[in-house]
Structure 1
Amino acid sequence: MSPLVVMRKRIAFLFFCVCAFLVVLIIRLGFVQLSQGADLRQKADDSHFRGVPVAPKRGNIEDRNGNVLAMSVSSETVYAIPAEVRQSGRAKEMALTLSKILGKTDAEIEARITKRSALEYIQKQVKPEVAAQIRALALPGIGTTEDSQRYYPQGTLACHIIGFAGIDNQGLEGIELTRDSELKGIPGSILQEFGANGIPLPQAEHQYLAPKQGNTVRLTIDESIQAFAERELNKLMAGQGTNMNGQVPKSASILVMDPNTGEMLAIASVPGFNPNHYQDADPSARRNIAVQNGYEPGSTFKIITLAAALEEKKIKPTEHFFDKGSYTVLGKNVRCWKSGGHGDQSFVQVAENSCNPGFIEMGQRLGMDTFYKYLREFGFGQKTGIEMSGEARGILANKKKATALDLATMSIGQTNNVTPIQLLTAVSAVANGGTLMKPQLVKEIVGPSGRVITPFKKEEIRRVISEDTSKLEREILESVVTNGTGRRSFLPGYRVAGKTGTAQKVVNGSYAQGDYIASFVAFAPADHPRLAILAVVDGVPFFGGAVAAPIVQSVMLDSLKYLGIKPDTKAPLTPGKPMPGLEFPPLKKAATVPSVLGLPLAEAQKALTEAGFKTLTEGQGEMVLDQIPHGDAQVEEGSNVLLYLGKDASTPTLAHWWEDDDEDIEAIHNLAGRVPISVSPLGQP
């Protein structure tokens, strides 16, 4: 082969190699330009553009009617660009100047404005006049940017639900925390072009990226119903609660639910706090005890035992049961709260009288497996799923280790630990036709434009009892209010169903005497419930329903009127007989009991006799230390008044011998003279 041909081949090979290299280079450049161009451009901008963040306005939190419960108000933040400060050589001077304006030490400010970082915040949420003063100084590397801070216009109202946000507008508790992603919005920024030495370029390009405001979270809570509940709790904490005689409970909660949808209309707890100054509150006051605390429910739990027994057809309402005063299980006697028992009664009357042996009989007929089945079906021992952080599960006795005696005590509301939200959710299932609903706090999410982004949707968990069972139990529980231990919640013209309860508190592994958790749960109207309300009062001497029922009665009456639910013309105006076939003695004229506390026995008996009452005594001594009913209570004319005697205030009184885990002072009236309690025109005892 000639040298010329060889040379030509070499040139052709070299040419093709160069062409192939160029083709690969072009393809690579095209890939970089088209595929990675945006990212590389962003990295280039980031290297010489520096942004000052502009905080978005956090979305509002509103009640179901659009009333603002939490909002963001404008404020400003003072920032520094350390590279520019260091370049100016005036760091000490600027630190001294800023310290006088911001109230910080010059050393603290100097350390911050000279820090090796791209941007440093000197102070957040400063007043507009302070920000204006700093801008007027035109200090190199020091600027201000738009910011916002959280404000709660209603103060303490619904504080445990709303929670609060921190100084960086991040949600820390309550709805502020659980819905932080919807509320916080998207930050914007102010971009300025800098050189490699960190100094702004002359005639540099500026860019403003506007922040996007957060969404509005509209709650299921009704501001007015929440206010009704908190009003009653504040009365309690001020020592003004009915039958509290000036005593103040340790804590208390009121929960209001729409039983048909699971919407929470109010969750109120005391003690509370002001979210505008949450740092000043005791951490225990910030605890949402209605969701995070458990307790033994006492007799309010009998609603669940009754529902299971009716659903499983283990009892008939007209079937009779004889209460001899106690029920023997495994050689142990579980006493009825009424001395001597209630004798012969139907199971409707067992419910009306809150008869412990009668409910124990229901539990024994159900058996362990079936009883635990309904515990689970009604949601006990598990979270309800309400949108609150830290929700407790409650505690159920270990089924494998439980005995017939445990079953007996569980049937009357002891042994197991439940949360208020669990109990109200379960009772609402009884009220609404038998379906367990998920309790909800958020009605809808609304965008800045006013468009609903996420509408409310009720969540049915499962059917627990049949509609027929629900209807029958509603009638029985209405009878409890009309004829039984729940009379203190009676509302003239409205059909109310409910149940009282008093739970002893466990201290060091045993039940404490004289320290109780009083509760009352009710729903109305009984035939078509619109509201279900639970009140739990922790730290009362022994009163039970006498303390909690009037609270529920007041909140229920105001809420029904507020919602425009008119009285039922067929509903009784006085306690009567809602179910056919039951005979009760007619109520006599109501009379006011005079107070005889501190009087010698002879004087006390004379005063009560002149007022038309009979007297019984308990204890030793000549001085009246306590009385049941208390002074100013309204009872039937001619009723017995039980006087507790002693020599001085240290003599044991009712709290020392009252050992039964039941409900309310109705028991003491029956012990005193076995006469029912009358009610005032508004149902107050």
Structure 2
Amino acid sequence: MEKSSAKLIKKFSSRMQARLLLVFCVITLLLVGLIGRLVYIMQTDGERYAKQVLSRQSYVSAVLPYKRGEILDRNGTVLARSELRYKLILDPKNLLMNAEYIPPTLIALKDHFNIPEETVREILDKRPNSQYTILAKNLNYKEMNDFKAFMEKNSAVKSVWFEEEYVRTYPYGTLASDLIGFTSTDNRGFFGIEEYYNEELNGTNGREYGYYDSSLNIERIVKKPENGHSIVTTIDSNVQRIIQKHIKEFNEETGSLNIGVLVMNPNDGGIIAMASNKEYDLNNPRSLEGIIPEEELQAMTPEQKLEALNKLWRNDAISSGYEPGSTFKPITVASALEEAIINENTTFHCDGGEEVGGWYIKCSNVNGHGEVTLEEALMKSCNDALMQIAAAEGRDIFYRYQNYFEFGRKTGIDLPGEEAGIITALQNLNATELATASFGQTFNVTMIQMAAAYSSLVNGGKYFQPHVMQQIINDSGATVKQMDQLLIRQTVSKETSEFIQKAMYQTVEVGTAKGAKVEGYAIGGKTGTAQKYPRDAKTYLVSFLGAVPAINPEIVIYVIIDEPQNVPRQDNSSIATEFAGRILKEILPTLGIYPEGEIDYLLPTNEEDQDNNNDDPDNNGQDDNTDNMDNTNNTDSSGDTQTDNGQNNETSGSDSDHNDGDNSATDDADEVGDISGEGNADVTGETETNTETDTNTTTDLNTNTDISEEELINSEGEMEDDEWFFDEEEFNGAAIGPMDE
């Protein structure tokens, strides 16, 4: 072992050590030279090498936005669109690496976009490592294109580029605001079609990948975005514009708490127009200026402003409930016809009221309409006859048909925020409740429910689901989805539908809805007057629900005026019928519905007309308001017709036409009674009958039906079993007074 070590030591001679030292010295000198060379390069040509390194560093640009789909009316008019705009982007890090480009770039930004040089220098100081800083937004194409052209001619302007963005715009401002809704900056829809079809309207973002070349120009690789689909609606923008114009004119001339107008196609459920007087600018939906007085607006807290905005954005036609009143009477009659409980030749004796459940409930004509046919019961809006019909039906049949017509549940319209309404549970539908429900009291509906139900009555019995979407098309115009008729059920037979059409025509021609007449057209419809809670406030909703033409209609129109202002009496349904007539006169030609020849084909013979107008021989053409007006202030015009000279034969609240020469202040006050909203003659004619339960079922047009009743509503929107019925404490005899003699 020792010999081996000695041999190794002996072999590593001094000569070898000298050579090793020489190699080490040479390597050291080479390293020193290399370091010197690197230092020299960094000092003399470092910027060029830095650019070469930077050109090999890839980056990912900002997302390329998709274009949200358009919303169009039935004729192709664009109601909502996304317009292309541009963002101006600065890369501070890159610009700082090329100091000679800073001055010309800053000057160019100031000259073209009025961006102060101090602002850009502050960004360079505070964000030197940033490669993405937005300098300006919402630039139009000309601004972008002019600057790009300038950059091509001036190579000293660097580290600036543009990104596309889309801004949602509404060309017609307030038009159809209840239906369309609006979006946030991140393309999220709020309310209306924008919210309901948000997923279809939105698309998929693209991406842009790129790198700097040796001249610091950006080379890009682009993955294109996928644009959203467009929604072709059933809305007619011309009809919508006319309706909103008339609402404004009415509020300027007369005034109201709110107005709801709905026009739909009864033959497929398509919504043609829908509006209220709470319109807002879709391009600036969060502004209350011009809607709330300036002084009041300044005094509001942020919470109050938010509450006001939510009320403003709310679509009352689908979200607010009320008692329908006499517009519901055709449904009561149709249900009995379907069950063969009555027929077209059935007659009724109206003696001024009915004693039901221990209470005497008056008809609008306290002296009685006398002997009336089924058709006359609707024409005159006779509560007495309707109560007799409902009693013959019984609560099982009545309740079943309420469900057939989709009351107490949502219609399924393709708009967000729909409410279900409230109907009385079957076990609580006792004699008194059944009687008052027969003429539209003590339960709660929405405008869309009533319009859809009435449409099925006049279109042959087919209940179509209401909808606003007609077609979904892609970016290339190809159809993605087509909305066909969605038939829910057959509610009534064709024969029943034909009877209702004729009876509603007679109601407009010689009955309680004369104010809705339009020269040259056959129009059918029913008036309504609903007394709001609290009853002693004597405030009312007046309405008209009709169809044109009266036979085989092409449109259904529903008008509600909530608390008309500056009128002698709010409980005057002629306010609504005349308002509907003005709207129809203008929208019918717009929809291509024109007068056709003679329209008196449904009018009765002279003898029949004379009989209709002399149903109360004791009245002698005099207005019989004096017995009831002071006590009820809301008797029903239902059941009121006129003599040939225009005088009112019935009691206060008669639905005679203002234009026929009747000067009664109660002209067209549609069958309002003190029990509830309309069509109710009061129980005694002296004091008001209290049908109000612990929870108010009638809300204003701008009130959510479910706010106060939330704890009472089950999953179907009905009242819980232990609520919403008359009990002895609620239906207080002492509060009402003695029955009429």
Could you say whether these structures have the same fold, taking a TM-score greater than 0.5 normalized by the shorter chain as the test? yes
- 1:584 and 2:634 matched: no
Give the corresponding residue for 1:154. 172
Give the corresponding residue for 1:189. 207
Q: Which deviates more from structure 2 when the two are superposed, residues 166-175 or residues 304-313?
A: 166-175
Q: 1:295 aligns with which of 322, 327, 346?
A: 322
Secondary structure of 2:276's aligned partner: strand
The Cα shift of 1:267 comes to 0.9
Q: Which deviates more from structure 2 when the two are superposed, residues 397-406 or residues 408-417?
A: 397-406
Give the corresponding residue for 2:651. 671
Q: Aligned partner of 2:319: which letter? A: Q
1:639-674 deviations in Å (ceiling 9; x for gaps): 768999xxxxxxxx9687414366699799433799
Question: For 2:128 and 2:426, how far apart are their aligned partners in 1?
Answer: 62
The Cα shift of 1:313 comes to 1.6
Task: Check 1:558–1:52 CA distance in 2 against 1; reply closer, same or farther (3 A cut).
Answer: same
Question: For 2:317 and 2:323, how far apart are their aligned partners in 1?
Answer: 13
Question: For 2:511 and 2:234, how far apart are their aligned partners in 1?
Answer: 33
Q: 1:223 aligns with which of 230, 237, 242?
A: 237
> Do the aligned residues in 1 keep the contact of 2:625 with 2:651 (CA within 8 Å)?
no
Task: Check 1:581–1:80 CA distance in 2 against 1; reply closer, same or farther (3 A cut).
Answer: farther
Q: 2:475 aligns with which of 443, 448, 451?
A: 448
Question: For 1:200 and 1:640, how far apart are their aligned partners in 2?
Answer: 100
> Do the aligned residues in 2 keep the contact of 1:258 with 1:532 (CA within 8 Å)?
yes
1:479-513 deviations in Å (ceiling 9; x for gaps): 2112210111123332211100000112xxx4244
Give the corresponding residue for 2:444. 417
Question: For 1:656 and 1:89, how far apart are their aligned partners in 2?
Answer: 90
1:341-395 deviations in Å (ceiling 9; x for gaps): 2122222211111011111111111111111111111011111111111111111
Task: Check 1:671–1:124 CA distance in 2 against 1; reply closer, same or farther (3 A cut).
Answer: same
Secondary structure of 1:528's aligned partner: coil
Question: For 1:113 and 1:556, how far apart are their aligned partners in 2?
Answer: 65
Q: Aligned partner of 2:282: which letter? A: P
> Do the aligned residues in 1 keep the contact of 2:532 with 2:538 (CA within 8 Å)?
no
- 1:429 and 2:442 matched: no
After superposition, residues 356-375 of structure 1 pair within 5 angstroms as 356-375=383-402
- 1:564 and 2:592 matched: yes
- 1:332 and 2:359 matched: yes
Give the corresponding residue for 1:206. 220
Give the corresponding residue for 1:533. 557
The Cα shift of 1:274 comes to 1.1
Q: 2:78 aligns with which of 50, 65, 68?
A: 68
> Do the aligned residues in 1 keep the contact of 2:461 with 2:492 (CA within 8 Å)?
yes
Q: Aligned partner of 2:391: which letter? A: Q
Question: For 1:63 and 1:83, how far apart are their aligned partners in 2?
Answer: 49
Question: For 1:342 and 1:160, how far apart are their aligned partners in 2?
Answer: 42
Secondary structure of 1:217's aligned partner: strand
> Do the aligned residues in 2 keep the contact of 1:256 with 1:266 (CA within 8 Å)?
yes
After superposition, residues 374-393 of structure 1 pair within 5 angstroms as 374-393=401-420
Task: Check 1:640–1:95 CA distance in 2 against 1; reply closer, same or farther (3 A cut).
Answer: farther
Give the corresponding residue for 2:138. 125
Q: Paired residues, what number?
A: 565
The Cα shift of 1:435 comes to 1.0
> Do the aligned residues in 2 keep the contact of 1:498 with 1:522 (CA within 8 Å)?
yes
- 1:311 and 2:311 matched: no
Give the corresponding residue for 1:237. 251
Give the corresponding residue for 1:42. none
Give the corresponding residue for 2:65. 55
Determine which structure has more spread, i.e. the larger CA radius of gyration. Answer: 2
- 1:171 and 2:178 matched: no
Q: Aligned partner of 2:85: which letter? A: S
Give the corresponding residue for 1:145. 163
Question: For 2:581 and 2:432, how far apart are their aligned partners in 1?
Answer: 35
Give the corresponding residue for 1:269. 276
- 1:351 and 2:378 matched: yes
Question: For 1:420 and 1:201, how far apart are their aligned partners in 2?
Answer: 67
Question: For 1:417 and 1:115, how far apart are their aligned partners in 2?
Answer: 64
Give the corresponding residue for 2:523. 496
Q: Which deviates more from structure 2 when the two are superposed, residues 158-167 or residues 130-139?
A: 130-139
Task: Check 1:427–1:676 CA distance in 2 against 1; reply closer, same or farther (3 A cut).
Answer: closer
Q: Aligned partner of 2:373: which letter? A: S
The Cα shift of 1:312 comes to 1.1
1:233-258 deviations in Å (ceiling 9; x for gaps): 1112212xxxxxx3x11111111111
> Do the aligned residues in 2 keep the contact of 1:430 with 1:470 (CA within 8 Å)?
yes
Q: Which protein has the bigger strand share?
A: 1
Q: Which stretches in structure 2 are left out of the alignment for 5+ residues?
A: 1-56, 289-307, 662-666, 669-741
Question: For 2:490 and 2:232, how far apart are their aligned partners in 1?
Answer: 28
Q: Aligned partner of 1:71: which letter? A: R
> Do the aligned residues in 2 keep the contact of 1:495 with 1:526 (CA within 8 Å)?
yes
Question: For 1:201 and 1:49, how far apart are their aligned partners in 2?
Answer: 16
Task: Check 1:579–1:227 CA distance in 2 against 1; reply closer, same or farther (3 A cut).
Answer: farther
Q: Aligned partner of 2:547: which letter? A: F
Q: Which deviates more from structure 2 when the two are superposed, residues 170-179 or residues 369-378?
A: 170-179
Secondary structure of 2:543's aligned partner: strand
Q: Which stretches in structure 1 are left out of the alignment for 5+ residues?
A: 1-46, 240-245, 589-615, 617-637, 645-652
The Cα shift of 1:219 comes to 0.7
Secondary structure of 2:68's aligned partner: coil
- 1:520 and 2:544 matched: yes
- 1:485 and 2:460 matched: no
The Cα shift of 1:675 comes to 11
Question: For 1:516 and 1:673, how far apart are their aligned partners in 2?
Answer: 12
> Do the aligned residues in 1 keep the contact of 2:61 with 2:210 (CA within 8 Å)?
yes
Question: For 1:117 and 1:675, how far apart are their aligned partners in 2?
Answer: 75
Give the corresponding residue for 1:607. none
> Do the aligned residues in 2 keep the contact of 1:298 with 1:661 (CA within 8 Å)?
no
Q: Aligned partner of 1:532: which letter? A: V
Secondary structure of 2:240's aligned partner: helix
Q: 1:322 aligns with which of 349, 374, 377?
A: 349
Question: For 1:581 and 1:314, how far apart are their aligned partners in 2?
Answer: 28
Secondary structure of 2:246's aligned partner: helix
